[in-house]
Amino acid sequence: MFIDNPTVPTQLEVVLDLLHAIRQKNALADSIKTLLQPKGLPDLTASSNQAALQMNAARELKLIAPDEEGHLRLTYPIRDGKPSAKEAIISAVDRLVLASADVEPWFGRLYGYVISRANDEILSESSARKDLCTQFNNALPGHVERANQLNDTKLPHYLRWYSYAGMGWRDPSKRFVPDPTERVRRALPVIFDGARRLDAASFMSSLAQACPELDGGALFMDTATNQYDPADRVCTRALAVALRNLHDEGAIQLDCPKDSQGWSLERGGTVRDQQALQSDRFDRVALQPVR
């Protein structure tokens, strides 16, 4: 899978933008490689393969394909500049990489494993990252094929893609902090599926289907540590932060009455909207109109 290699999302955007710009011209693979990585570039060597890596990523994400004459073309239409290259890439990641483990076995499972821990930050120290990879590989269930396992060389590539896909951020020390706010925001239409309001249990069940790497989802549960038990009805810190962010931004309305017995957001930090959120547990979630 392309995530195992040092593929850079913004460079992948360049590939897609280029193919759109020359959509009616010669676009054979060798020609595209030459345009992306022309002779004379500083530090270019015979083994330089960045262009090939980006093109391979575009193929694996099913964003490009050859036409009848072998010219590479975008597989999706662009109208009035939409979708942008970034939007197309993230949509493909949601649809192909995060939807299941069929295309990429570790990406969603690793994220679920990380956020299920009490301390879900990924430190920058080499020893901490090696330990994380070992612990994750050991946590894989017996039915999972263990070929090409995660290691600390591949881990930075995963973190780069998590950040790009709106699933977290890195601070100046290169510590990674999971925050799936944008990932959940994109999934809201699927989660609500035409409804305007869901009770807490229905919301969490639908979220697990739409985002299987998050709380209760199939990929999450494959490797969730013993620090997470769905019977406790306590959201992971990452999901709690995302739901509170979306509430504060007006994308959703959390109903948190004082006597609520619903799912807890207690790991998500301080409540900003104390008038509306009267407790740390939510009974219902309403989808707010797009502003």
pLDDT in tens, 218-248: 999 999 877 788 899 999 999 999 999 999 9
Place of tokens 């500083």: 42
What six digits make up the tokens of 30? 């060798």
The pLDDT of residue 182: 98
- Predicted local confidence at residue 256, as pLDDT: 92
**Burial track 188-199 (b if 16+ CB lie within 10 A, e otherwise):** beebbeeeeebe
Q: Count other C-beta atoms under 10 Å from residue 291's C-beta.
A: 6
- Residues of the chain falling short of pLDDT 50: none
Q: What is the pLDDT, as a whole number, of residue 34?
A: 86
Can you give the pLDDT at residue 197? 97
Residue 287's CB is within 10 A of a number of other CB atoms, namely 19
What is the pLDDT at residue 45?
A: 55
**What type of residue sits at position 72?**
L
